[in-house]
Amino acid sequence: MRIDIITVHPELLESPFQHSIMKRAQEKGLLEVVINDLREFGIGRHQQVDDYQFGGGAGMVMMVEPLTNCIEKLQSQRTYDEIIYLTPDGQRLDQGIANRLSLKNNLMLICGHYKGIDERIREQFVTMEISIGDFVLSGGELPAAVLVDAIGRLIPGVLGDETSALFDSFQDQLLAPPVYTRPAEFRGWKVPEILMSGHFPKIEEWRHEQALKRTEERRPDLLEKLKDQ
């Protein structure tokens, strides 16, 4: 999979993809993340990428021309399955969206900044709009990093144990059950005996019960969604 990210602050995206699972995914050739500096397409001597709003109002807007030129250059090189704009008024990111996007080949992410992007970009190019929550950040770079991580770890071969992602929270509309590791007892705090019993059907039953309990306590809305399916 290749993911192109368009940003006015490429330095904000240097670290997230140079460590841990995302780094290994790229080293294995399973994921390619390319950061595209929008200022290379800026207008004039100062490489301008933003301007005042028509009609007045506070906040600058990312201009249509630099974005169009950047997007069309990328499109001339490959076909994109989705062109995604990271914006607070987009569709809320969830595990289902991450699952679907992990099956794609080429994605383009547009990081908003300032007051947002010229609406004509959304009308002419954007195929999907994603939000990571009901709050506003300074730009789309952090949401882009979150989205790439959520997608990238699902690509077959990225995780050491490919079944690991199948048991993440939200994969089956349930939160993940509690997990434990060695030692079996620490300061009198003991690991549930069932987990050391070796009786795997019973262990899976316990895990499912714990997942249901945790979901009911913390995210009862997820159980409501299950009832509606």
What pTM does this model have? 0.90
Structural domains in the chain, CATH included, are 2-152 (3.40.1280.10), 169-228 (1.10.1270.20)
Structure tokens at 95: 């595990």
Integer distance in angstroms from the first to the last C-alpha of the chain?
A: 31
The Cα 171–Cα 99 span in angstroms is 9
Could you give the residue ranges of the DSSP H alpha helices within 94-140? 95-101, 119-124
The Cα 115–Cα 136 span in angstroms is 11
Q: Which tens digits make up the pLDDT trace of 7-60?
A: 999 999 989 999 999 999 999 999 999 999 999 999 999 999 999 999 999 999
Distance of CA 212 to the CA centre of its chain: 25
* Mean pLDDT calculated for residue range 141-146: 98
